Structure 1
Amino acid sequence: MSKEKTLESQVSGYISTVLREHFGKGPSSVFINIKRPFITIHIRGFLSPTESVLIKKQEHQKVAEVRDLLMNDIRTEIQRNLWKLTKLDIKDIYTDWDFDKETGLILGVMDETLVESLFDWPGDVDKQAFIEEIDRISKKGQKLPESTHIYWLNDRTILVLRTGVLVRIEKELIRNGYTEQLQLTKRPMEYKLIDEADLEPILKRKIADSFVNWDFVNNIGYTVLVLEAKQK
């Protein structure tokens, strides 16, 4: 087994355990992808009985608030234990969930230099058209990003990193301590914009899951798209 596969197996086992310990129920599956300096942890079948009741009552925001509180509480623990287990130096962790699909995404950003040349892009996918469509929906939602970078992490995972995404009123909300409220408000809008975008024709693939989060301190937006398997 390769070193990367061993690391992925170790991380998968650890994440399943820590979620079970803190939420009372573990996920049915955890898929790990390590493409330095990023690590994506795609979680499936993860919804506790209590959360399930709330989701049936359309209380998505309440579930999101509690999930965010719990994940914020164990974020440092996850970073510390991943270092002990794998020597992966995770600088930042971002999470997002799709409660209806019972899926989730944990994005880790390592304390390493990002080397653009290490990321390949499929020859049959128009990279510039993809960036332009991301910029179009960003501008439609709020503003054109200062820069847009896209990374093909593996055959089914794309990371979009946008800088300079916050408008003035959002910066004021963050400055006044309304980060959590801003995050909960921005997410549905971002999901809607992704759904309305013409990304699938460019990718020639269906998007199975989309997840979003922000580094508000550094004015960065992260989007992770999980694609359906390519048809043979």
Structure 2
Amino acid sequence: MPEKHVAKSKIKTLLDELLAQRFNQAPGRMDVYVDERSLIVHLEGFMGDEMQNLIRLQDPDALRSVQELMVEHILPELAGTIGTATGFRIGTFYYDWSDRDLSGMLVGLPEEQAYHEQEDYYSGKSEVHEIIGKVTYEIQKMPDETYSYWAADHILVIVREGILIKIEKAFVDQGASEILRKVKRNLEKEVIDLEAPRIEKILKRKIKDFYVDWSFELNKSLLVYVFED
């Protein structure tokens, strides 16, 4: 992969062009963070204010559905274009939207799971993992493995592997992944939100927002905390 700042600049330009081409507008704000472990794109103002307000007032779930359809539409092309331009080969994309401010988070993990070998060791890490394990256990089961690293000074990425229980696997096998994702997202976000004060106390940082998504095929989940600068 080219130098990080060069790759970041290329990816940002590609995204601006792709989003403007596909949806007739670029995001109001877009921040890109990239290293060997992941590509992270934080989007704000992805849809026009008028459209966002209209859908949010009528049906919050409809807004999320529209956003997710828009993103899913560009992910394969985005992954291929980024790989060609920068050499960063994305294996899986994760994405989520904040109900608080309608911002979005896209996270691409490479096929080579570099976060296994390139974890960060930071103060409070074991306590954070313990809390996340408790959250996961309350909804499904204790993760087989938990990894975490700082993708930026204010962005903490937590990867959970081996979290699905048998009934969840059965839902996936029956083609009900999207229903399962919706239910899990609602349940987990409630519990994660309740644990936010403890995370803030341990890390001595104020949480701005968090995002969560799953790859059911890989039996893996991504949780991303964004802290106040």
Bigger Cα displacement from structure 2, 111-120 vs 139-148: 111-120
Question: Could you tell me how far apart the structure 2 residues matched to 1:108 and 1:115 are?
Answer: 12
Query: Shift of the alpha carbon at 1:113?
Result: 4.3
> Deviation above 4 Å: which 4+ runs of structure 1?
none
* C-alpha distance in structure 2 between counterparts of 1:19 and 1:190, whole Å: 30
Is 1:51 the counterpart of 2:49? The answer is no
- Deviations along 1:169-206, whole A, 9 cap, x unmatched? 21111111111121122112221111111211111101
Query: For 1:17-32, what aligned pairs fall within 5 Å after superposition?
Result: 17-32=17-32
Cα distance per residue 1:43-72 (max 9 Å; x no partner)? 122233323211123x12112222222322
**What secondary structure does 1:101 align onto?**
coil
Work out whether 1:8 is the aligned partner of 2:19. no
Q: TM-score, normalised by structure 1?
A: 0.89
Residue 37 of structure 2 is matched in structure 1 by 37
Which runs of no fewer than 5 residues in structure 1 stay unpaired?
none
1:90-128 superposed Cα distances (whole Å, 9 cap, x missing partner)? 111111111441311100011224264534333xx2111
Give the corresponding residue for 1:222: 222
What's the TM-score once normalised by structure 2's chain length?
0.90
Tell me, what secondary structure is at the counterpart of 1:128?
helix
Q: Percent identity?
A: 26
Q: Please, what is the CA RMSD of the aligned residues?
A: 1.8
Aligned residues, how many? 225
- Partner Cα separation in structure 1 for residue 108 and residue 221 of structure 2: 14
1:150 corresponds to which residue? 148
- CA distance in 2 between counterparts of 1:131 and 1:115 reads 15
Q: Which 5+ residue runs of structure 2 have no aligned equivalent?
A: none
Corresponding letter in the other structure for 2:27? P
Structure 2 letter corresponding to 1:191? K
Do the aligned partners of 1:165 and 1:219 also contact (CA within 8 Å) in 2? yes
Per the alignment, residue 177 of structure 1 pairs with: 175
